[in-house]
Chain A
């Protein structure tokens, strides 16, 4: 009961001193009276024991370690800036050199290729391909030394360009000269054609007066159409679609 007195201390007073006692602040005669009341009081004694036990259990709980990524998650969710400390630690721990990075890159890129090439069947195929290529190049007259001597400098490339374009222009001029000569020849032919027609008419007249009964000498038909006679052709109403493909050859 709250009003009960044991060893000169009431239960109300006991409850008032309870926190000081639990926090270790109670000393001297007060503590003795407190302990004596707890020993004899049927209510306060068990209550103190339970509270002390609960406090003991709670103190046994150790602090738990938060997840390692928690700080980064929080920073990402708030400021959006990654942890500068973690970055510093990561960069100062190991900074790979350019050579190491290059080696890493080449390993990652070439490793799958080399693992395939090392297989016997592929190695044989690559060997045969190399042999065929070298034979073809030697037959074509290509020598590796010529390729080595090729001038790939800026001025060399410019010189090659101008030489090549001059060669193309010269070739074009030659072709034009040939066509001009051809057209002149054709014009000359046209000029000489009327004289030939008169001879033809005389031969025809002779044929009509021929009564000898001998077989007629074979006449060569002139299939050359006169340019002044237009060629007429009948076109069907629905002409079939014809596709024409022109192949241009680049010289």
Chain B
């Protein structure tokens, strides 16, 4: 039996009120949803809360899932992404836009955005030395704009193909590819800057 058929069977049993099927769904997808939330929100506590919210919403709206309209994985990733965007809007976190090195507007000074953002943490060399590379990359990822961040997370961390990402983000495939490339380049520039300061 294929994975999609197994999942569809689980969904049907769950809608019928089978608690064991629901637990199977939670066991299957909690890791994936938690990782998306963690990489997008940045903190483990937020990721935990958001994962719970995703499953609560999923539990309530599971009967609305239509097998014909798409894969279950795409459905839950879309739900996760929408909740993350809502969370981002509520918390009103200020993120760097996709043009991190370009001047934000003609009326402001010509200093790039990355230089305008004050770094309130410890000195870069201390930061890099004290933390592992993964933590530094994770921190740099948080400085990307939400559009670029979600695109690179879904592509490079969740290994979704462009069509699935386009379905989740509800944008054309071309836009998805553009965002992914801009996100990767942006991240590389940020990390290069950090390591240049260390050296």
Residues of A within 8 A of B (CB): 18-19, 47, 50-55, 57-67, 70-71, 73-75, 77-79, 81, 83-85
Contacts and interface: CB of A to CB of B under 8 A. Distances in A.
Interface in B121-155: 133-134, 137-138, 140-141, 152
Contact of B22 (A18, A64, A78): A78
B63 to A, nearest CB: 14
Nearest to B189: A50
Contacts of B188: 50-51, 53-54, 57
A84 B20 contact: yes
B55 A51 contact: no
A83 B23 contact: yes
Interface of B: 19-20, 22-23, 26-27, 30-31, 34-35, 38-39, 44, 48, 51-52, 55-56, 59, 133-134, 137-138, 140-141, 152, 156-157, 162, 177, 181, 183-189, 191-192
A79 B138 CA distance: 33
A65 B157 CA distance: 14
Contacts of A57: 137, 140, 187-188, 191
Contacts of A53: 184, 188, 191-192
17 contacts: A51-B184, A53-B191, A54-B152, A54-B184, A55-B156, A60-B134, A61-B39, A61-B138, A63-B31, A64-B35, A64-B44, A67-B44, A71-B30, A75-B26, A79-B19, A79-B23, A81-B23
Contacts of A18: 181
A65 B32 CA distance: 10
A70 B59 contact: no
Q: Mostly helix, strand, loop or mixed at chain A's interface?
A: helix
A85 B31 contact: no
Most buried by A among B20, B31, B138, B185: B185
Given A58-B137, A63-B31, A47 B157 contact: no
A59 B188 CA distance: 12
Given A50-B188, A71-B23, A73-B52, 8 more contacts: A51-B184, A53-B184, A53-B188, A54-B183, A61-B157, A63-B35, A63-B157, A81-B19
B135 to A, nearest CB: 10
**What are the nearest 6 A-B pairs in CB distance?**
A54-B184, A54-B188, A58-B156, A53-B188, A66-B34, A78-B59
Contacts of B26: 71, 74-75, 78
Given A54-B183, A81-B19, A66 B31 contact: yes
A83 B133 CA distance: 36
A64 B30 contact: no
Contacts of A51: 181, 184-185, 188
Contacts of A75: 22-23, 26
Given A19-B177, A64-B38, A77-B55, A58 B185 contact: no
A75 B22 CA distance: 8
B156 A59 contact: yes
Contacts of A64: 34-35, 38, 44
Given A57-B187, A58-B184, A60-B137, A70 B35 contact: no
